[in-house]
Amino acid sequence: MLEEQTKAIRRVDYTAPAFWIDTVDLTFDLDPSKTRVLNKMRVRRNPDVAAQALRLDGEELNLARVMVNGGGTSFKMDGNQLVLENLPEGNEAFDLEIFTTCNPSKNTQLSGLYVSNDSFFTQCEAEGFRRITYFLDRPDVMASYTVTLRADAQQYPVLLSNGNLLEQGSLDDGRHFAKWEDPHKKPCYLFALVAGKLVAREQRIVSRSGKEHLLQVFVRPGDLDKTEHAMNSLMASVAWDEARFGLPLDLERFMIVATSDFNMGAMENKGLNIFNTKYVLASPATATDTDFAGIESVVGHEYFHNWTGNRITCRDWFQLSLKEGLTVFRDQEFSQDMAGIESARAVKRIEDVRVLRTVQFPEDAGPMAHPVRPDAYEEINNFYTVTIYEKGAEVVRMMQTLVSAPGDEEGRQGFAKGMKLYFERHDGQAVTCDDFAQAIADANPQSSLANLLTQFKRWYSQAGTPRVHAQGVYNHSNLSYTLTLSQSCASTPDQSHKEPFVIPVKVGLLNQHGQALAGHDKTLVLSEASQSFVFENIESEPTPSLLRNFSAPVNLDCDLTDTQWLSILANDTDAFNRWEAGQRLAVQSALRFIRASKDPQSDSVLDEGYLDAMRTVLSNPELDSAFKELVLTLPSETYISEQLESVDPQIVHAVREAMRQQLATALQADWQTCYAQNRVLGAYSPDAISSGKRALANMALNMLCLAAQKEGSSVWPGKALQAFKDASNMTDRFGALTALVGSGHALAEPALAQFHALFKNEALVIDKWFALQASAPDRSGNTLPIVRQLMQHPDFNLRNPNRARSLIFSYCSANPGGFHRADAAGYVFWSERVIELDAFNPQVAARLARALDRWKKLAEPYRQAAKTAIERVAAKTDLSNDVREVVSRALAE
């Protein structure tokens, strides 16, 4: 943590490093309170850069010795940097040896080398390697690594690092060693080591080319029975990357290690991925369908980084989306391909878009808005955002769409060609987003992407979510339909003016009976402020189905009538737009109701047309259960709030709760049928069909408990309790518990107690137990006292990021009705926790700090109260860079 105000780092200031580090030979004497690190490097001057001093980054290190070519040398410290001025002249490589110590047991930030549950782990991205040794801690310095680990053999029987094991053996005093060599050059943020008492599930596989590989998933003894799904996901990932992109596993050994103390989901260290246990451990009894899906997608994501990120990495951190946007796109495609059937692909797409619109769109409209390739940052860890990841993935998806050709409608083949060229050009290099876009375009010279490349790249440079307005005019006399699309984009911090984007808009037309008008499906490319597109030979006025499959990350305005939306919902061939039509109708009802200041106690929000349509969806035998569950799920409070100019979170909460209640009551009979029809019996399998059925059955149970609550009946809560007890898997058990807690019925309390007793030794399940209580629908302000009380629970521990997220983040970020209190107590709680967390884990604290990003949109008294809370945090003088950057942006005019 720095006392002085830090300066922003700017993209335009990038310069190549003055030195290259070709090889790194590290020796660790692992000890929790004093680990000794000997770092021997081969260093040479970069001939392209004028001679200057070597400045090495370091943080919280004790420096013992520096030697050049085996002899002593002069050096000085400049802040955190070790500066070497008297180095050998000329372009010859020289040896640089640095000996330091550090204290892993005191490393509460979980960045660098740290201890968790008596084992050692590392996390180096983005700038953690400097907390292990002095180094050129920047991604464009790629070196070959050899690593020797020495530690007590009893306490740390397993010693792992990147690459291949060269040798291992015993040493004096009960210690032993292992020596690893990584055959691939890498930036230091991909370095990793692990030491501890671990056991592994192993699998040997043979790749298409006939090479043998060893896959290993390391966990704590006792957790081995929860690693099958992770291993299956890893094998599927290896096969998928080879089949879809021709990218094979380039290592003899690929390891995944799970730790319960981790700041994020997982980390793609070369050959030695380190994972949060949440994304490794699963058994039917302890993990839900959502957990199973999360593991598949994160295992895939980290594995796919092996090429997109590791083989080709980022020149500088401004290019983060080069690896993250592309790898998210790849994991999304992987999950879709794994889901198999068309309807399940659509479900995955809808889920991804829902995240984009409820989290990324608000980010793009708030104080932390930044382009997919940012121009400046104070703390890079604050830029691992939904914009870099999810919007970045949409940018890659648009590239695929824009290289489509006849016979390759989605653009998959064109995109795969582009990927091939990207690797031909840049394998082993640290490059920029421009290099990537250029390769995709060059491989598809006839494509719209190639024609509009410079303009397309505005997606990388301009922040903010574009708004597209669509207006259709039908001409009876010449049977033409003219669709006029216009675009605009609101200003964002530091960017007041925006140039037009290149926006692929997939469209289709429906006739008055809802049937598709054949031959009119196309991808319109909007590249000017306004453009008209004419459809000929249209017999009668059509209903346009626009932005199919969410072909671009934009807000779409189109003035369709409720009847037209209902027709799309009932008939469109595009599953995404069917779902979207239902969401539009629900949002419109909510907004009309809120704007008219109606009272949800006395008026109903949803009209009969909508309720009938929902009934029809529920009983439609041709629709999959997973899709029905998505259609019947109302837009979130956050999403509704984003559509309002000024937000009273309590009104939004009350209105949405009233909508839920209405859906529960009006469709009661349908929910009963649904519940009966969708219960899955027999052995658990996380496949798309059965998980979809469970999702719908659990939603039905939830709705039935809600309806019962209104009637004062205990029949369905009683059934829910029975379902909770009888459940043969966590999805159903937790679904039943959620239904009980959601209805506020008295049976919820004993069920919660029983759940805790059953799973008291399963940390990930106890996380769910905390999260459920913190995110339960607020009833007259009851959530905050519950959360405060839960903080006193013996199982609560703020230092464990998963636990902090399960209680604190669930309350502050996933429970708007409970958090935004008129008495400001939720905001006071938030400021206390941000400050408390910041003292030992700035990265996690800065995430929590973002919960009040949208304070300017709040109505009074919330707005002023939120501002006061942010000012309270900002007034602290010893804040980390991480939190300081977030709160000062939030308060900026």
Q: Which of 21, 267, 485, 890 binds ligand B3K (CB under 6 A)?
A: 267
Please select the residue that binds ligand B3K; options are 59, 125, 296, 390, rule is CB under 6 A: 125
Alpha-carbon distance 368 to 887, whole Å?
A: 10
Rounded to whole angstroms, the Cα distance separating 783 from 419 reads: 49
Binding segment for ligand B3K among 301-309, 667-675, 739-747, 808-816 (CB under 6 A)?
301-309
Neighbours of 336 (CB within 10 A): 17
Q: Does 388 bind ligand B3K (CB under 6 A)?
A: no
The CA distance from 211 to 201, in Å, is 20
**Residue from 119, 310, 358, 381 binding ligand B3K (CB under 6 A):** 381
Closer of 389 and 610 to Zn ion (Cβ):
389
Number of residues engaging Zn ion in binding (CB under 5 A) = 2
# binding residues, ligand B3K (CB under 6 A): 12
* Options 139-147, 317-325, 467-475, 766-774: segment touching Zn ion (CB under 5 A): 317-325
**CB of 266: closest distance to ligand B3K in angstroms?**
6
Residue 241 beta carbon to ligand B3K: minimum distance, rounded to whole angstroms: 15
Q: Token pair of 691, please? A: 């998980």
- Residues 6+ positions from 138 with CB-CB distance below 8 Å: 17, 187, 316
Q: Rounded distance, CA 417 to CA 430, Å?
A: 21
**Between β-strands 112-116 and 119-123, what pairing exists: parallel, antiparallel or unpaired?**
antiparallel
* Of 59 and 302, CB closest to ligand B3K: 302
By DSSP bridging, strand 555-558 and strand 467-475 are parallel
Q: Which of 301, 370, 656, 884 binds ligand B3K (CB under 6 A)?
A: 301
Q: Does 121 bind ligand B3K (CB under 6 A)?
A: no
Task: Tell me which stretch binds ligand B3K (CB under 6 A): 254-262, 264-272, 808-816, 830-838.
Answer: 264-272
Is the CB of 128 or the CB of 466 nearer to Zn ion?
128
For residue 438, the surrounding DSSP H or E stretch is: helix 433-442
Distance CA 306, CA 241 (A): 10
- The single residue among 178, 200, 264, 886 that binds ligand B3K, judged by CB under 6 A, is 264
Interface with ligand B3K, residue 648, by CB under 6 A: no
Please list, in sequence order, all residues whose beta carbon lies within 8 angstroms of the beta carbon of residue 586, skipping any fewer than 6 positions away. 606, 610, 634, 635, 659
Cis peptide before 717 (omega within 30 of 0): no
Binders of Zn ion among residues 318 to 347 (CB under 5 A) are: 324, 327
Q: Phi/psi of residue 817, each to 5°? A: -65, -30
Q: What are phi and psi of 334, to 5 degrees?
A: -60, -50
> Contacting ligand B3K (CB under 6 A), which of 140, 241, 261, 302?
302
Other Cβ atoms closer than 10 A to 878: 11
> Treating both helix axes as pointing N-terminal to C-terminal, what angle do 688-711 and 342-355 enclose, rounded to 10 degrees?
60
We find the least distance from the C-beta atom of residue 331 to ligand B3K, in angstroms, to be 9
As given in the structure block, the two tokens for residue 719 are: 């059934």
**φ, ψ of residue 733 in degrees (nearest 5):** -65, -45
**Least CB distance to Zn ion at residue 303 (A):** 11
Q: What CA–CA distance (Å, rounded) separates 540 from 514?
A: 12
- Which does residue 137 touch among ligand B3K, Zn ion, none (CB within 5 to 8 A, set by kind)? none
Q: Order of strands across the sheet with 112-116? A: 112-116, 119-123, 193-196, 158-161
C-beta of residue 134 within 8 angstroms of C-beta of residue 175: no
Q: Which of 140, 241, 268, 762 is the binder for ligand B3K (CB under 6 A)?
A: 268
- Check whether the bond before 861 is cis (ω within 30° of 0): yes
Rounded-to-integer distance, Cα 749 and Cα 322, Å: 48
Nearer to ligand B3K by Cβ, of 274 and 483: the residue is 274
The minimum distance between CB 328 and ligand B3K, in angstroms, equals 8
> Please, which residue, 280 or 606, has the CB nearer to Zn ion?
280
Say how far apart CA 642 and CA 591 lie, in whole Å: 11
Count the Cβ atoms, other than its own, within 10 Å of residue 222: 9
CB of 324 to ligand B3K, least distance (A): 5
302 is catalytic: yes
Q: What DSSP line would sit under 31-87, residue for residue?
A: -SS-EEEEEEEEEEE-TTS----EEEE-SS-EEEEEEETTEE---EEETTEEEE--P
Binds 384: which of Zn ion, ligand B3K, none (CB < 5-8 Å by kind): ligand B3K
- Under the binding rule (CB under 6 A), the answer on residue 324 touching ligand B3K is yes
Which range binds ligand B3K by CB under 6 A, 80-88, 282-290, 297-305, 585-593? 297-305
Contact partner at residue 264 from Zn ion, ligand B3K, none, CB < 5 to 8 Å by partner kind? ligand B3K
CA distance 712 to 709: 5
Nearest distance, CB of residue 310 and Zn ion, angstroms: 11
Stretch that binds ligand B3K, among 163-171, 298-306, 405-413, 539-547 (CB under 6 A): 298-306
**Out of 59, 125, 268, 302, which one is annotated catalytic?**
302
The torsion angles phi and psi of 509, rounded to 5 degrees, stand at -120, 145
CB of 843 to ligand B3K, least distance (A): 6
Residue 838 interacting partner from ligand B3K, Zn ion, none (CB closer than 5 to 8 Å by kind): none
In the complex, minimum distance from the CB of residue 384 to Zn ion, in angstroms, rounded to a whole number:
8
d(CA 357, CA 554): 9
Contact criterion met (CB below 8 Å) for 363 and 386: yes
Q: Which does 348 bind (CB under 5 to 8 A by kind): ligand B3K, Zn ion, none?
A: none
Q: Which stretch binds ligand B3K (CB under 6 A): 261-269, 447-455, 776-784, 791-799?
A: 261-269
Q: Using the rule CB under 6 A, is 384 a contact of ligand B3K? A: yes
Beta bridge partners of 195: 120, 159
Structure tokens at 889: 């942006």
Query: What's the closest the beta carbon of residue 458 comes to ligand B3K, in angstroms?
Result: 25
Q: Which of 43, 54, 126, 160 binds ligand B3K (CB under 6 A)?
A: 126
Binds 365, which of ligand B3K, Zn ion, none (CB < 5 to 8 A, cut-off by type)? none
Report the partner that residue 382 touches, choosing among ligand B3K, Zn ion, none (CB closer than 5 to 8 A by kind). none
- 407, burial (CB in 10 Å: exposed 0-12, middle 13-18, buried 19+): exposed
Query: By C-beta, is 19 or 303 nearer to ligand B3K?
Result: 303
Residue number with CB closer to Zn ion (266 or 634): 266
**Least distance CB 834 / ligand B3K (angstroms):** 18
From 89-97, 263-271, 801-809, 873-881, give the range in contact with ligand B3K by CB under 6 A.
Answer: 263-271
Q: How far apart are CA 95 and CA 252, in angstroms?
A: 30
As a whole number of angstroms, the distance between CA 597 and CA 594 comes to 5
Stretch that binds ligand B3K, among 266-274, 281-289, 412-420, 721-729 (CB under 6 A): 266-274
How far apart are CB 277 and ligand B3K at their closest, in Å? 15
Q: List residues binding Zn ion (CB under 5 A).
A: 324, 327
List residues near ligand B3K by CB under 6 A: 125-126, 264, 266-268, 301-302, 305, 324, 381, 384
**Could you list the active site residues?**
302
